[in-house]
Every structure is written in structure tokens, then in C-alpha cells.
Structure 1
Amino acid sequence: MFKIQSQELLSNISFFLLFLSTLFYWTRLIILRNSWIYFLGKLTVLLGNCCLTALLLIRWITIGHLPLSNLYESSISLCWSLILTHILIDLKSKGPWIGATTAPSAMFLNGFCILSLPRNMQKATALVPALQSNWLLMHVSMMIFSYAALLSGSLLSIAFLVLDTLRIEEFKDCDLNTKKKIIKDRNSILNLGFVSDLIEELDYWSYRIINVGFPFLTLGILSGAVWANETWGSYWNWDPKETWALITWFIFAIYLHVRINKGWKGRKVAFIGVLGFFVIWVCYLGVNLLGKGLHSYGWFN
């Protein structure tokens, strides 16, 4: 009973900390350009991930296997991985934009786990026979890490398009002198004198993160195929989850192909990243809400 209550407490605290982090990052970005606000955003997101780490460790010790066997556990793990991706990027990039982009998604995902999932799904259970395999760690962890990285990259593509659209609207029908004045004017719509550099940085990091997430996705799909052959006697069964994982792979393969081989940058490739964002959510969550398949155990169906 104590362990169950401690998990619930850690989950609630992590949600509150992620809410505060989102508030701090957006306050720093829009209202107050204060370094302490930015520091508080970084601190609360780090503490939130520490709570999720403790939750996952307690659950692992309690149930005796890796906590990746159902939607609640995988969602908590995805939230943890998403925040970890944010922290790693934040070490390289200096500014509140990454937190303002990723912290809300982690907060909403955490809130989905706490508020939307049935209580019986949040309880720790034994692994079903199909999941009692050494491939569980390899396959599911690779997929979770890939989703976290690809979602982060796609979110930055969305942020890029939003800022670039605002810049286009701000500069529309303006001559060169007016454009220079707008860039220097802190009361303009963008309210950022360095907006061009920021947009380029968003484009750069979106590509870098997707470039990291794609190999994880490939390894996840390949290990899943080997596991499927061991369990069901076939490498590929065209299960809804498998099909959408393959669609996700093709979307981001196209993204990287046009970026590397065609030299696409900016808006054109960002649209592909945005498409990938929605496809990932269909793959991860949608197929479990809308249909049954070989991956339905421990989920909604």
C-alpha cells in the first residue's frame, strides 16, 4: 500500500513541477527576460524528471520487471524520455525556447497518465506470457527513445513554422528600411531582435534530434520483428501497430532524405516534421484507441 501511495504522490508531484516549469519557461520567453525565471524553469523540469525516475524505479522493484508492459508505464517512460531529451538539448543550446516547446508536451502526457487512464490500468501487474521475453527491454526501450526524440524534433518543426509565419506576416508589404526597424523594435509582434537566428537554431536542432531518433526507431522495428518471429512465428503480421510504425519510419526517412540529399531546409522540410508529429501519436496512442491487434494486451482493448 505504501509503495502504491508513493507512486501516486510522485506522479502528482511530477505533474505539478512540469506545470511550474511550463509556466516559468513561457514567462521567461514572453514577459520577463530574467535569468532567474529561466533557472527556475530548468530546475523544476529536472526535479520533475527526478520524481519520474524514482516512480519508475519503485515500480520496477515492486513488480520485478521493467515497467514497460502497458500504456500507463510506457507513457510515464515516454514522458521521462521526453524530458531527458529536453535536458540534453538544453545543455547545448542556451535559451528558453526548447523548454517552452517540450515542457508543455511532457506536462500534458503526464496529465494524461494521471487523469485519463483507468485506475486499474495504473496498477502494477505481472507480465502476460507474450511479454515475458528478453526482447522486451530492447524493443520497447528503443521505440520509447525514438518516440521521445522524434516528437521533440517535430515539436521544434512546429515552433519553427509558427515563428517563421509570424515573421512573414510582420514583414509582409514592408520595404527594407521598415524591416530593419521592425527587427530592432522590441514592441513588434515577434518581440525578439534575434528572431532570425532563433528560427535557424530551431531548424538546426529539429534536424539534429530527428537524426538521433531515426536510428532508434529503426532498431526498435527490427528488434520487434525478431521478437514477433519468436512469439508468433512470423517477422511481420501487418498488425495496426506494425503498419503505423512502418509509416512513421517512412515519414522520417523522407525527412532525412530530402534534408541530406536534396538540401531542403526551412519551411518545406518542417512540414514533413509536423506530419511526423501526428503520425507518431497515431502510432503510439491512436491504434490502441481505435482498433485491436497483436499489440492490444495491457492497453485499452
Structure 2
Amino acid sequence: MLKKVFKVSSSYNSMRIPLDVVGDIAILKFARWHPWILKKFYARRFLKNNRHIKVILEKTSGFSGELRVQETKWVAGEKRKDTIHKENDCSFYLNVDETYFSPRLSQERKVVAEEIFASKLRSPSVLVMFGGVAPQAIVLAKLFKKNKLSIEIISSELNKKACEFAEKNVEMNKVQDYVQVVCGDSRKFCVNSASRKKDKFDFILMLRPNLEDTFLDAALKVAKKGTLIYYHGFGEEEKVRNEIERDLKKFGKKYKITEFRKAGDIGVKKFRWNVKIKID
């Protein structure tokens, strides 16, 4: 398995280059001062030492905006940006520039799936907001399918490209009877479902982007007593606690935070948090 930092010695100095590996693509975050020829040297050496990697890209911008897309630049290997990433006995087809996907959340996806499975609810209903290419929905569905149990999962995503990949992934992983991909704004989906008096959900997974809007008001419209919300917050713990308390109190909901755990870092002393909120 590749480490998250690639160390290379050169005449310039000994460098440590952060990276992410998605399928057979390695995305390297070079320093701004690295000249192009040095980047090519690093990339070719990386390919030589890691035969299962076929493409080297340079990360030129982070994920941003409502669609959560990034920008990368080809450096070496095959000239493509699509790949199949495998984790948790699942396969995900995606384009690294057109969709949001983080391999660093692999363990978190597994933990969430196992927790929902352990609830032992009969045919639970699950809404995955901001579902991307549907990795969380599929990991969860395959766990239930493996144990011959039923579950209803809706994966909602705004990015049309991500929806196309999600539908292909649902089919590729053979969980069509478990997962429905809904392309569109997650907030509007919640509002429309509430207006049509559709069934409320047992679990709501809020895999939200790093924006000021918490989207908790939307999630509450399709929550019921006993619903467990998994809320993704960003920054310092106090900030995330305050935004949750502010919005839930604003809408007059009784709740209990049952767990507050780190789900990865996003900067110096700043983290992604997965907060479990039980609606009373």
C-alpha cells in the first residue's frame, strides 16, 4: 500500500510530497517552486517504483464550490483522469477532476456502514445527502446484501457528472435493488419529500461540502423521532458544536449528540468531524 507522503532525493534537497491514490492514479501536490523538469523526474521515478500506478497527476487546486471539484494537471503515465477505485469489496468508477471522491474516507465509510448494520433495524431507510459517486451508499448496500438483509438507500447528488458515475457504480456493484440515485439539489429533495409527505428516514448521512450552510434545516424535514443523523462538520471542534446547536435550537428540535469523532484533517489543527445526532 502506498503511503500518503512520497519521499524523493534530488540535487535540490530531500522532499516529501503529499499524495492521494485513487485507483491507478496518483495525485501529487508539488511545491509551487518545483520546476516542471523536476516534477517529471519525480513522477517517472514514482511510476517505476509503483508498477500498479499508471497515471501521475499534479494537484493544482483543492476541491471547491457546490459541486466539489478539483483541478489536476497531467505529469506522466497514461493520459487520462478516469479510473476504477477499489475499497471495502466495492468498485467505484470516476473522473478525479469531474467528481468529488476521497480515498481517505474509506475507513469512515466502513465504520458508518457497520454502525447502521449493527442497529438491527428491519429494512432501514437511509438518505445519503451529497452522495457523490455513491461510495457510501454502495458500501452500505453491499454489507446488507452480503448478509441477505433489505435496506432502502437514496443517494442524492447535485453534480450531474457524479450522478452518471453513481448510476454506473450502482450497476457495476449489483446493488440496483438497494440504492436509488437522485440527481439534484439535496435541499430541494428534502423539501419536496416533506411536501409530498413521503416517509421519513431512519438514518440521514450528511456528507456535506465545506460550506457555511449546515443544511440541517433540510435534513430535519425528512427526520423523525429516533432518526440518527451523521453530520460532517469542518474546522475546530468548538465551531462545529456551535453551528449544530445554533441550527437545531433555531428549529426547535430536541436532540442528543451521541458521538463526536474526527474523520480526517483538513489543515493545521482543523479537522473533518463526523457527528452523530439523535433526534428525540
TM over 0.5: no
TM-score by length of 1: 0.27
- Which has the larger Rg? 1
TM-score by length of 2: 0.29
Q: Which has the higher contact order (CA 8 A, sep 6+)?
A: 1
Q: Which has the higher helix share?
A: 1
Q: Which has the higher strand share?
A: 2
